[in-house]
Amino acid sequence: MTVNTPEGRAAASSAPPRSMEVLRTPDARFEGLPGYAFEPHYVEIDAGDGAGTRLRVHYLDERPDDTAEASGETILLLHGEPTWSYLYRNVIPPLVAAGHRCVAPDLVGFGRSDKPASPFAYTYQSHVDWLRETVFGRLDLRDVTMVCHDWGGLLGLRLLAEHPDRFRRVVATNTVLHTGDQGDMGPFYTQWLQFSQRAHPFEPGAVVERGTVTDLDPAVRAAYDAPFPDEAHLQGVRRFPLLIPISADDEAAPANRKAWEVLETLRIPFLCAFSDRDHVLGDAHTPMRERIPGAQGQPHTTITNAGHFLQEDQGPRLAAVIDDFVRTAR
């Protein structure tokens, strides 16, 4: 026990940092998932706990078999909450057939990536740092077209603002970048926040189905649940709703406001491809279209008959929009 005296506190502060506990979903959970016959790839990154803990991060890296058919374009596909790279299983094949390399990481705490056991390991900044080290530090991606959905935008747009030289284009789909001064978040956020903390069991597959306009096959629902064999593996999923900046005093608000200051100067081609039946974010694309110079004059589109998880409802259609933008936006 550490005595609560100046000497005791000094001794505690000088103690070496403790390694975070990290969970890893068994590989067997990912066998035979419908539509997901992709080869897994991994990198290791610093967990940021000061103790040298390493996190294994999973990503997909699909590209044309014939290099003569390659377009030379790299598309970075970022998922959000509570999904993983499985979300893009119907988007990747058409893009690869069009000649593009597709890289789709699983965020830390999701998919086949490692999952810190403590909810307090997950902060907005830690997610930004983990994603940055994965895609830039380890994979060294450059000149990418970023496709960002949901929390993929809350993280990816930060990277865009902080490393604009790494990006060639952006396709934002059903996403947002909150700064804490957006006012009332509305009843949906309140309900989602309560549900995310109280639901037991928490079933990501059921959440995805509620955010689509089509009924998911039970095997597809189960695939979204696959990374999370028990409650201990769900800490990252439960934590995301708590990390959204809802006030100007939020710890992530200053960095996000700074990111917007940069975004308002960027002329990198920026396309909004939102869906018509997204009851989560609605018209959240408006600030992006109005405030980001690179969004001016672009062929923004609304993908019809699609909910929040439009990759499930209209995956090939989204792929076609991305491919068209890659070929026309220079």
Residues belonging to the active site? 150, 278, 308
Amino acid at 186: G
Query: Would you say the C-alpha torsion 298, 99, 163, 176 has a positive or negative sign?
Result: positive
CA distance 160 to 166: 8
Q: Which residues contact 330 (CB under 8 A, 6 or more apart)?
A: 269
3 state DSSP class of 280: coil
CA distance 93 to 98: 9
Q: How many CA atoms lie within 13 A of 214 on its CB side?
A: 15
**Helical packing angle, 253-263 and 151-162, nearest 10°:** 60
CA distance 257 to 250: 11
CA distance 92 to 329: 20
CA torsion 127→295→302→177, rounded to 10°?
30
Exposed/middle/buried for residue 275 (C-beta within 10 Å: 0-12, 13-18, 19+): buried
DSSP track, 95-142? HHHTT-EEEEEPPTTSTTS-EESSGGG--HHHHHHHHHIIIIIIS---
Whether the Cβ atoms of residue 50 and residue 77 lie closer than 8 Å to each other = no
